[in-house]
């Protein structure tokens, strides 16, 4: 507060021959009055904290009115909108008021706190309003000795009462009309200063809020733009209004191609009902979470996505659009499909193994002369079956690529079905090395051929014969699979089971073609296989 008093000390800049006003003699010239108000105006126009402002005006009002001590009791509003009271003193230390409560709106204080008028008294103790309120009925014990009293409300330009300037002296008759005018003028300046301080505080708060909002918006924009998920927004009528880089990568449309067009640009015909469901939920304020569906790319291909759609609200809380996050789940869906296929393939193979084991027992029993011979023959054939399985399922632990000759692969797969006579199985022609995934796919096809031959064809009979001939025709390897001596073939089977579908898928993966010839003498298969594909060449 001492710093505030210095701001109005006449000794700093008073002109020679112009005395400072004496507290007991308020014969202030018009020039002095103008100079004083000019200083106050400059002070309250500065960028002061509210506490500094009220200290300045309290010191000025006390000094220029001739008061011995003064106080400014004022209201403040916190960030939660709650009102609380503060005060500042002039002419006495703060400890002089430390033991007293804030003034209440008693009969004496009411005009000031209500803003209804000025209270000026030569001796407040003689005022009819004085001493009428509990619990003190006057000044409490130890209070400053107030005799002359001048109280002026400080009123905002909006009409709200900020508080009041209270000036006092311990002698009677110290305040006249001149003092009242001075304090009223200072109070008017104080009101402007408090209004300006509030406006400045609010402007700073809004500026800070705008800065934070701008930074937050920039961060969110960066997150959206660099997200791995496709993020876009649309109006309630379905018009696309924003489009991030991942949306361009996922759907193939650049932002300028997508923005302004209808969202059905991305929706297949048979999925249009989903948009009605989604936008209906948005209008009701509901989110759609993790909807797994299909969407259409620019090139017409379909992509598996997981959609999350949320309402967009304006500053008034009204729903004005929707934000949509689309996550590409193609890899997961394909992995699930592969897993399901592998499970079915495993089930199919296990069932085949049981069937083949039964067939091997029957086949071995026909040619066995004793139990010991049956056991030995069956053991050899089951062992051959295991070796064939190991060859086709080989896994190079050093990270190398699985590889086997086609003739070796055929013998490993067919050895369990050899019936014992010399011409039961014959493999002729040109051998070729089979590598990588082609080995597994081809083994799968050959297993199907062998299984069917053991169930229904030449390998199901002691008299049956299987001849396989391999020949190179340009970029293709042609394998002829000829069954003779088995059960007569009446007509081609019409039932297509999982094994047939598995065989078709494997041949498709190899880029191979197959021709079947059904003849009463037996089945003939002709399979054309791309050499580059079998060799695992990148050109395939």
**Which tokens in the block code for residue 53?**
């402002």
**Which tokens in the block code for residue 504?**
């078709």
Beta bridge partners of 303: 295
**Which tokens in the block code for residue 285?**
């304020």
Q: What is the pLDDT of residues 256-305, one digit of tens each?
A: 999 999 999 999 999 999 998 999 999 999 988 889 999 999 999 999 99
Give the DSSP H or E segment for 515.
Answer: strand 513-519
- CA atoms within a 13 Å half-sphere pointing along the CA-CB vector of 90: 32
- In whole angstroms, what is the distance from residue 327 CA to residue 335 CA? 16
- In whole angstroms, what is the distance from residue 97 CA to residue 87 CA? 10
- Reference 251, options 234, 269, 232; nearest CA is 232
Q: What is the pLDDT of residue 430?
A: 92
Asked whether the beta carbons of 293 and 305 are under 8 A apart, the reply is yes
Q: What is the pLDDT of residue 76?
A: 64
- In whole angstroms, what is the distance from residue 96 CA to residue 68 CA? 13
Q: What is the CA radius of gyration of the chain?
A: 50
Q: What is the pLDDT of residues 360-388, one digit of tens each?
A: 676 567 656 788 877 876 776 666 566 66
Q: What is the pLDDT of residue 368?
A: 67
Angle CA 281–287–321, to nearest 5: 70
- Reference 62, options 199, 174, 224, 212; nearest CA is 174
Asked whether the beta carbons of 57 and 186 are under 8 A apart, the reply is yes
- In whole angstroms, what is the distance from residue 81 CA to residue 102 CA? 20
Q: What is the pLDDT of residue 59?
A: 85
- In whole angstroms, what is the distance from residue 79 CA to residue 76 CA? 10
- pLDDT by residue for the chain (540 residues), tens digit each? 333 333 333 333 433 333 344 444 445 566 666 666 666 666 666 655 677 777 888 888 888 888 888 888 877 655 555 554 667 787 677 666 655 566 666 777 788 888 888 989 888 888 887 766 666 566 666 567 888 989 999 888 888 888 888 898 989 999 988 889 888 988 888 888 788 877 877 888 888 888 887 887 777 777 777 788 889 999 999 999 999 989 999 999 999 999 999 999 999 999 999 998 999 999 999 988 889 999 999 999 999 999 999 999 988 889 999 999 999 998 888 888 878 877 876 776 677 667 656 666 765 676 567 888 778 767 766 665 666 666 655 554 444 567 888 998 898 888 777 655 557 889 999 999 988 778 877 877 887 788 788 878 888 888 889 999 999 999 999 999 999 988 887 666 665 565 566 677 778 878 889 998 888 888 999 999 999 988 876 443
- Reference 512, options 452, 413, 436, 441; nearest CA is 441
Q: What is the pLDDT of residue 349?
A: 63
Angle between helices 371-392 and 330-367 (to 10 degrees): 160
Q: What is the pLDDT of residue 531?
A: 92
Q: What is the pLDDT of residue 15?
A: 37
- CA atoms within a 13 Å half-sphere pointing along the CA-CB vector of 129: 12
Q: What is the pLDDT of residue 51?
A: 75
Q: What is the pLDDT of residues 84-129, one digit of tens each?
A: 466 778 767 766 665 556 666 677 778 888 888 898 988 888 888 7
Asked whether the beta carbons of 11 and 24 are under 8 A apart, the reply is no
Asked whether the beta carbons of 126 and 146 are under 8 A apart, the reply is no
């Amino acid at each position: 507060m001492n710093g505030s008093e210095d701001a109005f000390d006449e000794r700093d800049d008073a002109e020679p021959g112009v005395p400072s006003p004496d507290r007991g003699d308020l014969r202030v010239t018009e020039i002095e009055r103008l100079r004083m108000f000019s200083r106050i105006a400059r002070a309250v126009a500065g960028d002061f904290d509210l506490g500094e402002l009220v200290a300045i005006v309290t010191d000025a009002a006390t000094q220029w009115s001739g008061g011995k001590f003064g106080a400014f009791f004022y209201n403040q509003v916190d960030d939660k909108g709650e009102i609380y009271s503060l005060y500042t003193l002039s002419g006495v230390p703060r400890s002089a008021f430390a033991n007293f409560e804030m003034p209440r709106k008693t009969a004496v204080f009411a005009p000031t706190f209500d803003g209804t008028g000025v209270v000026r008294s030569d001796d407040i103790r003689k005022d009819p309003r004085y001493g009428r309120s509990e619990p003190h009925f006057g000044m409490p014990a130890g209070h400053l000795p107030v005799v002359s009293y001048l109280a002026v409300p400080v009123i905002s330009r909006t009409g709200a009462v900020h508080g009041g300037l209270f000036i006092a002296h311990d002698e009677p008759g110290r305040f006249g009309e001149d003092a009242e005018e001075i304090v009223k003028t200072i109070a008017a300046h104080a009101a402007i200063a408090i209004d300006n301080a509030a406006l400045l505080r609010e402007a700073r708060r809004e500026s800070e809020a705008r800065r934070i909002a701008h930074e937050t918006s920039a961060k969110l924009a960066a997150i959206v733009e660099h997200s791995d998920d496709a993020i876009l927004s649309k109006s309630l009528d379905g018009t696309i209004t924003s489009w991030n880089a991942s949306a361009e990568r996922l759907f193939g449309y650049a932002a300028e191609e997508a923005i302004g067009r209808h969202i059905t640009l991305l929706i297949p015909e048979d999925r249009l009902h989903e948009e009605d469901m989604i936008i209906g939920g948005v209008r009701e304020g509901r989110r759609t979470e993790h909807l797994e569906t299909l969407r259409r790319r620019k090139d017409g291909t379909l992509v598996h996505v997981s959609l999350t759609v949320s309402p967009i609200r304006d500053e008034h809380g009204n729903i004005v659009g929707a934000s949509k996050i689309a996550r590409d789940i193609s890899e997961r869906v394909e992995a699930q499909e592969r897993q399901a296929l592998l499970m079915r393939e495993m089930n199919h193979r296990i069932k085949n193994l049981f069937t083949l084991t039964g067939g091997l027992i029957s086949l071995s029993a026909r040619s066995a002369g004793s139990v010991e011979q049956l056991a030995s023959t069956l053991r050899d054939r089951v062992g051959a079956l295991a070796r064939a399985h190991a060859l086709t399922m080989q896994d190079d632990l050093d990270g190398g690529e699985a590889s086997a000759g086609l003739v070796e692969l055929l013998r490993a797969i067919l050895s369990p079905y050899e019936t014992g006579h010399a011409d039961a199985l014959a493999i002729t022609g040109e051998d070729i090395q089979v590598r990588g995934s082609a080995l597994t796919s081809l083994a799968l096809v050959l297993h199907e051929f062998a299984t069917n031959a053991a169930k229904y064809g030449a390998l199901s009979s002691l008299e049956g014969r299987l001849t396989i001939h391999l020949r190179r025709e340009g970029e293709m390897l042609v394998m002829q699979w000829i069954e003779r001596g088995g059960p007569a073939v009446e007509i081609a089977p019409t039932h297509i089971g999982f094994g047939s579908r598995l065989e078709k898928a494997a041949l498709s993966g190899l880029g191979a073609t197959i021709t079947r010839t059904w003849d009463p003498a037996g089945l003939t298969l002709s399979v054309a296989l791309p050499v580059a594909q079998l060799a695992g060449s990148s050109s395939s």
